[in-house]
Amino acid sequence: MKKRVALWLGAAMAVAITPLAHAVEILRWERLPLVVPLVVGQERIVFIDRNVRVGVPANVGERLRIQSAGGAVYLRASEPIEPTRLQLQDADTGTLILLDIAAEPAREGAPLLEPVRIVDGANAATRYGTQTAEIGNAEADGKTQAAQSKRETPIAVVLTRYAAQNLYAPLRTVESAPGIMRVNLRRNLVLDTLLPTLPVKVTALAAWRLEDHWVTAVRVTNTSSGWIDLDPRTLQGDILTATFQHPALGPQGRPEDTTVVYLVTRRYGLPQSLLPAIQRFDPAVNLPRPASPTQGDDHAQ
């Protein structure tokens, strides 16, 4: 009997010293701001399972301490905070998640706020330019079609948009596109065969690659005194798509005499996609020179 009592007391003590598991509130991100209340002096953890950067409005100041580590964001308010919106940005994909917070003084007897876990909603939109898996419906015999990987947005569109943003948009507004990497471009790349019918000067600026596609940004400058309408059909080479930043070039010397064209090629970059330069034949240079007369020649006078 004493042994049973001792076992029961040991079990009771083990239960007493074992911490209770905290409940976790599940919030689904479906492109609508998520409400996360705070209590002054209490730390609340937001699990997101992503490497995120947190954007905080300037009016919050030092009233909110934010720490991010290992896929969790730790929020602690030192003073009451009016309703404020925070931005959580995925450092890898650029995806934004919006949190609406507000901190109120603690109320006596109120339970502690539980942690929050953010999960993707079933209807969440696919990230621009990323791949999605399309799974077919089950067939009559119980077999399912294999998942086919496809891209929501054509690669050429993703690359062109990314290149244009890098050249023209503020860096803070450039969208992240997973998989795109900068490509080294040979200096003084000769582009004489790209627009041979137009009085323009062309210069390669930068290039990026995604899978087996390349995009090269090329500056085009008018060298004539008239307007030039830009038509992608005048471009020469093995080019998949071409997009001009502006539809026309102004006369040389005006602010509008320069634009950029984004050239997308497949399987290799722009240098390998250009037509070879053709050397003109000059008879005066290529004909053999006649032999000079020598003394003792039968035809010499």
CB atoms within 10 A of CB 24: 12
How confident is the model at residue 294, as a pLDDT? 53
Q: CA 53, CA 71: separation in Å to the nearest integer? A: 10
Confidence of residue 89 (pLDDT cuts 50, 70, 90): confident
pLDDT for 224 equals 94
Q: What pLDDT shows up at residue 137?
A: 43
Query: What's phi and psi for 284, nearest 5 deg?
Result: -65, -25
Residue 46 bridge partners (DSSP): 73, 116
CA atoms of 59 and 79, how far apart (whole Å) = 13
* Per-residue pLDDT tens digits for 22-76: 578 889 888 889 999 999 999 999 998 778 888 888 888 889 999 988 788 999 9
**Which has more pLDDT, 2 or 91?**
91
Structure confidence at residue 258 (pLDDT)? 96
pLDDT of 136 reads 40
Residue 292 clears pLDDT 70, i.e. is over it: no
Class of domain 22-120: mainly beta
Give percent of the chain above pLDDT 90: 42
- Decide: residue 46, CB within 10 A, 0-12 exposed, 13-18 middle, 19+ buried: buried
DSSP 296: T
CA distances from 277 to 113, 184, 192, 236, 288 (A): 71, 23, 8, 11, 25
pLDDT value of residue 51: 81
Residues of the chain with CATH 2.60.40.1080: 22-120
The answer to whether 103 touches 38, Cβ cutoff 8 Å, is: yes
Can you give the pLDDT at residue 290? 58
- 156 vs 243: CA distance, rounded Å: 10
Each residue's pLDDT tens digit, 78-87: 999 999 999 9
Query: Which of 22-36, 52-66, 100-114, 171-185 shows the lowest per-residue confidence on average (mean pLDDT)?
Result: 171-185
pLDDT surpasses 50 at 127? no
User: Six-digit token pair at 132?
Assistant: 């999605």
Number of Cβ atoms within 10 Å of the Cβ of 60: 17
Q: What is the pTM of this model?
A: 0.48
Mean pLDDT, range 207-214, rounded to an integer: 92
Q: Which of the residue ranges 164-168, 176-180, 200-204 has the most confident prediction, judged by mean pLDDT?
A: 200-204
Determine the pLDDT at residue 293.
56
The CA distance from 196 to 96, in Å, is 45
Taken as a whole, the chain contains a residue count of 301
- CB-CB contact of 189 with 237 (8 Å): no
pLDDT at 17 over 50: no
Report which DSSP code applies to 138: B
**CA 54 – CA 77 distance, rounded (Å):** 15
Q: Give me the mean pLDDT over the 159-166 stretch.
A: 90
List, in order, residues 6 or more apart from 37 with CB less than 8 Å away: 101, 102, 103, 104, 113
